[in-house]
Amino acid sequence: MDGSSSSKTSPGTVDISATGLPRGAWPTMITPFHEDGSIDYQSLQSLVDWFIDNGVAGLFTVCLSSEMYDLSNSERLELARAVKKYSTGRVPVVASGTFGRSVEDMADFVRSMAKEVDAVVVLVNQLASQDEDDDAWRCNVQKLLDLTPGVCLGLYECPVPYKRFISLDNLRWALSTNRFFFHKDTECKKVPIKAKIDVVKEFPDTPFRFLNANIETLQYSQSNGGDGFSGISANFCPAVIAWLCEHHSTREQAEQVQEFLGLSQNLIMWKYPCCAKKYHQMFGVTTMKTTCKASTPDFNDIETMALADLRSSIQDTRQLAGIPDLAS
């Protein structure tokens, strides 16, 4: 990376400008809330420790799983600051930062968020409206870069409020700026996934990481040169996902682990993110409530039993892969 990238190295900060982000599992973190909607920091600290004990490469907070659109700017900063504090430099932390009505507003918040985390995530769909083309998107991103010198950035194809995929040309351009360190891909199809990974390979010395958000294609993306996973499943079985990221070529075992992860996705998506909070509540990782900012659904007996079955299947898959049995 050139001098335009951040070189700060304060206590508890991971310097990604030189080495890049570590490869592996990057959970899109849920946010524990009290019943009054305030952040439950005690449960958050327990959650951070659980993730790290289960071998994650880093943490992505202030994301869609974190209910980022239902948080105020001050809550977004406080949440990111707390996750970074609780991680104590053991893993890097990234957080979304492009909130605001204008590029100038977004840049102002990105600069604030950059003081709290190791890299700030650019939400791809926030830099152009749905009817604007790729040229408009690139123009706005360039403006954002000009207004945020020295900030390490990432890209995320967030599906809300609308899903915008980054084109191959714009991905290539983003890599050429030396300001972006990862891309969280949500295209969920093998052909475009491989095409984007091939673009990254055009920059052999880049510390840029390609992170797949689609658990069903994780073994495929890893086998084609991907760098890891960042998605909702990592809130349930981060150690299993971390194992597959590393051992994707261990043929029979890896295929069995991939099959389990793919089959479990439908259950994991049911009433998410509340179901993830219910899962952690049921199995003693934290004392968090199932409270969500927008709405908090109830769980009937069948749904609760399904989460218990998921827990049992995760334990069986850990045993299959030879992963030590930790707290969960």
How far apart CA 146 and CA 153 sit, in angstroms, is 13
Under 8 Å between Cβ of 237 and 29: no
Q: Under 8 Å CB-to-CB from 110, ≥6 apart: which residues?
A: 97, 98, 120, 122, 144, 148, 151, 153
| Residue among 80, 77, 83, 166 nearest 123 (CA) | 166
Q: Specify the DSSP class assigned to residue 128.
A: S
At 82, which amino acid appears? A
Residue 220: half-sphere exposure toward Cβ, Cα within 13 Å: 17
Q: Give Cα separations from 250 to 56, 66, 245, 247, 279 (angstroms).
A: 20, 33, 11, 5, 29
285-324 per-position pLDDT tens digit: 778 999 999 889 999 999 999 999 999 999 999 999 999 8
In this prediction, residue 325 carries a pLDDT of 77
In this prediction, residue 226 carries a pLDDT of 98
Structural element, H or E, at residue 119 = strand 119-123
Q: Under 8 Å CB-to-CB from 94, ≥6 apart: which residues?
A: 21, 26, 58, 59, 60, 61, 117, 118, 119, 120, 121, 154, 182
Residues of the chain under the 70 pLDDT cut: 1-14, 326-328
How far apart CA 135 and CA 283 sit, in angstroms, is 49
Query: Which string of b and e fits 160-190 if b means at least 16 CB within 10 Å?
Result: eeeebbbeeebbebbbeebbbbbbbbbbbee
Residue 184 β-bridge partners: 156, 211
How far apart CA 210 and CA 205 sit, in angstroms, is 14
In this prediction, residue 9 carries a pLDDT of 38
Would you list the DSSP string of 172-217? HHHHHTT-EEEEEE----HHHHHHHHHHHHTSTT---EEEE--GGG
In this prediction, residue 303 carries a pLDDT of 95
In this prediction, residue 324 carries a pLDDT of 86
In this prediction, residue 326 carries a pLDDT of 65
CA 119 to centroid of chain Cα atoms: 12
> Could you tell me whether strands 209-212 and 180-185 are parallel, antiparallel, or unpaired per DSSP bridges?
parallel
pTM surpassing 0.85? yes
Tokens of 287: 């004392």
In this prediction, residue 285 carries a pLDDT of 76
In this prediction, residue 10 carries a pLDDT of 41
